[in-house]
Chain A
């Protein structure tokens, strides 16, 4: 009997990758979408199986072509990877399930197979990163996913997406190239590209300049991709002008994967080996995280376009993730990793609700959705729930993240108090901008000429509610993400002296 479960890591990447040309060939209406959904759901199932295996204590190590590491290319899945895989495949599935009609209207029919093929390639690239245990392989997957996402973002009708995607392409490629320089320098010094092997060999050369330079390049490169303040400038426009369903997918997972990579490199490879430099990480990233949290929230407060408002909110949330990581403690890293999961849920649900709104209203500015709650109560209900999760009302996933983050900050003494103040202020600002939207929708005057004709279509509404309710479920029963996150935090820190 073939034990299929051994091949799961490889299958995770192969399924979406092979489905991409398949989707390309399916010309009849709707078949391409169906193929994409099927591949996405299949990938989600594989991610779930991997998670179950990881939770049971199983170590997934896969050698491509049976070439032994470190000569061959290795794939590996642990708790951290499993969590990120769940997020990516889940987000892709939800976005595709919801987006049929929305994408039908956004993309011309003859381009649809191309679009879905690009989506699947993006998915393949994104899932490849947590699965790969080889630094260069990661680079390749990173670029596959990035290039495919450029296509996705530019795929809609809004022409402003084009300059936005051009800027994203510029910055993203520079980021990836920096990363490439970094691993090149590491290869120069250690002779290996396998992450686990790197970790061992860096010991001997840890105090030499090229390694330090490499650490710098890799951190900056990944920070560019992850939209860390102040390298976030590509994000707002890219998210705003992309087709709504694409924003759901990207907001939930694109930057998270780069953050995963940043944490992986900095804790697995660098931290234990950079004697005397182990605080460089926190001294450098903590202020940036705080700035991201405060400034991005403030900018969001004054935004009138819904999508751009929540895009800036995403920048702030990425700040939270970095803040937890910069504390270099188990509690802090648990908070970070769990927030990767929780924020994906919250933002995914929010952007899905916005996509629901977009099916009926004429534009996505505050004045367009005035009074929308009267005609679209279910949509706004899901929006409110997701918004509460973003703010961190107890009972939602956002609260769990905040709890862990503030608890972790308490352990840091006086700096911790300053961090808590920053977190609290940004939560209040988040409350303010979520409330602005809710108030406009619930209490605004309804303009009879431009009012929504009715509730959003049942398909997209159901998926939106699934996502919104998931926020509630994982807010009250977060054992799955918390277990994975604690396990990830511990394994990341095991290597820190």
Chain B
């Protein structure tokens, strides 16, 4: 049961690999970006799930409540930052794809390589 209890790690690993596969194997630039997003989401999951304490609640101090068990707030903060970074990266990536479309007329990697070779 230990193994299944750690299912969040499995999800992390599977999402990671799906994202990675998409980045490498797909030739459409948008699909690559989507893969990259999935890849990054896997990492977000890792952090957030590691912060969850068994039986823990939201990490907000309430007046009058003593000995509350809180989930770890730090990973959540870290992941917010990482999500922002991820968004910026995706936005930049999409901007580049738009420009590539303008310059090359295609967003398939094979087409772009073909055009550059000429």
A and B touch in the complex (CB under 8 A): yes
Name A's B-contacting residues (CB within 8 A): 136, 139-140, 143, 147, 150-151, 154, 159-160, 162-163, 165-166, 169-170, 173-174, 176-177, 180-181, 184, 187-188, 193
Question: B103 and A184: CB pair below 8 A?
Answer: no
Question: A166 and B97: CB pair below 8 A?
Answer: yes
- Give bound CA distance, A173 to B75, whole Å: 20
Determine how close the nearest CB of chain A comes to the CB of B22; give it in whole angstroms.
Answer: 11
Question: A154 and B96: CB pair below 8 A?
Answer: yes
Contacts A169-B92, A170-B32, A170-B36 given: A184-B43 contact, CB under 8 Å? yes
Rank and list the top 7 A-B pairs by shortest CB-CB distance, nearest first.
Answer: A159-B103, A143-B85, A162-B100, A188-B50, A163-B112, A166-B96, A184-B47
Instruction: Give A144's nearest chain B residue, CB to CB.
Output: B85
- Give bound CA distance, A177 to B36, whole Å: 10
- Give bound CA distance, A139 to B78, whole Å: 10
- Is B54 in the interface zone, CB < 8 Å from A? no
- Is B29 in the interface zone, CB < 8 Å from A? yes
Q: Across the interface, which residues of B come within 8 angstroms of A184, CB to CB?
A: 43, 46-47, 50, 75, 78
Determine how close the nearest CB of chain A comes to the CB of B83; give it in whole angstroms.
Answer: 11
- Is B40 in the interface zone, CB < 8 Å from A? yes
Q: Across the interface, which residues of A come within 8 angstroms of B78, CB to CB?
A: 136, 184, 193
Determine how close the nearest CB of chain B comes to the CB of A189; give it in whole angstroms.
Answer: 10
29 contacts between A and B (CB under 8 A): A136-B78, A136-B81, A140-B81, A143-B88, A143-B89, A150-B96, A151-B92, A159-B103, A159-B104, A162-B104, A163-B100, A163-B112, A163-B113, A163-B116, A166-B29, A169-B89, A169-B92, A169-B96, A173-B36, A173-B40, A174-B36, A174-B39, A176-B85, A177-B39, A181-B46, A184-B75, A184-B78, A187-B50, A188-B50
Determine how close the nearest CB of chain A comes to the CB of B40; give it in whole angstroms.
Answer: 6
Question: A180 and B32: CB pair below 8 A?
Answer: no
- Give bound CA distance, A184 to B112, whole Å: 37
Determine how close the nearest CB of chain A comes to the CB of B53; give it in whole angstroms.
Answer: 12
- Give bound CA distance, A163 to B109, whole Å: 8
Q: Could you give, for residues 55-95 of chain B, a 1 whenever the CB lies within 8 Å of some chain A CB and a 0 otherwise? A: 00000000000000000001100100110010011001100
- Give bound CA distance, A169 to B75, whole Å: 25
Determine how close the nearest CB of chain A comes to the CB of B74; give it in whole angstroms.
Answer: 8
- Give bound CA distance, A147 to B84, whole Å: 12
Q: Across the interface, which residues of A come within 8 angstroms of B97, CB to CB?
A: 166
Determine how close the nearest CB of chain A comes to the CB of B102; give it in whole angstroms.
Answer: 9
13 extra interchain contacts, Cβ-Cβ under 8 A, other than A136-B78, A147-B92, A174-B23?
Answer: A136-B81, A147-B85, A147-B88, A147-B89, A160-B116, A162-B96, A166-B93, A166-B100, A169-B92, A174-B20, A177-B39, A187-B75, A193-B78
Q: Across the interface, which residues of B come within 8 angstroms of A169, CB to CB?
A: 89, 92-93, 96
- Give bound CA distance, A162 to B92, whole Å: 12
Instruction: Give A185's nearest chain B residue, CB to CB.
Output: B46
Q: Across the interface, which residues of B come within 8 angstroms of A147, CB to CB?
A: 85, 88-89, 92
Q: Across the interface, which residues of B come within 8 angstroms of A139, CB to CB?
A: 82, 85
Contacts A136-B81, A154-B99, A166-B97 given: A180-B43 contact, CB under 8 Å? yes
Q: Across the interface, which residues of A come within 8 angstroms of B113, CB to CB?
A: 163
Q: Across the interface, which residues of A come within 8 angstroms of B103, CB to CB?
A: 159, 162
Question: A150 and B92: CB pair below 8 A?
Answer: yes
Q: Across the interface, which residues of B come within 8 angstroms of A177, CB to CB?
A: 39-40, 43
Determine how close the nearest CB of chain A comes to the CB of B78; give it in whole angstroms.
Answer: 6
Q: Across the interface, which residues of A come within 8 angstroms of B99, CB to CB?
A: 154, 162
- Give bound CA distance, A416 to B96, whole Å: 46
Q: Across the interface, which residues of B come within 8 angstroms of A180, CB to CB?
A: 43, 82
Determine how close the nearest CB of chain A comes to the CB of B70; give it in whole angstroms.
Answer: 14
- Give bound CA distance, A166 to B23, whole Å: 11
Q: Across the interface, which residues of A come within 8 angstroms of B81, CB to CB?
A: 136, 140
Q: Could you give, for residues 14-56 of chain B, a 1 whenever the CB lies within 8 Å of some chain A CB and a 0 otherwise? A: 0000001001000001001000100110010011001000000
Q: Across the interface, which residues of B come within 8 angstroms of A165, CB to CB?
A: 96
- Give bound CA distance, A143 to B100, whole Å: 22
Q: Across the interface, which residues of A come within 8 angstroms of B43, CB to CB?
A: 177, 180-181, 184
Q: Across the interface, which residues of B come within 8 angstroms of A151, CB to CB?
A: 92
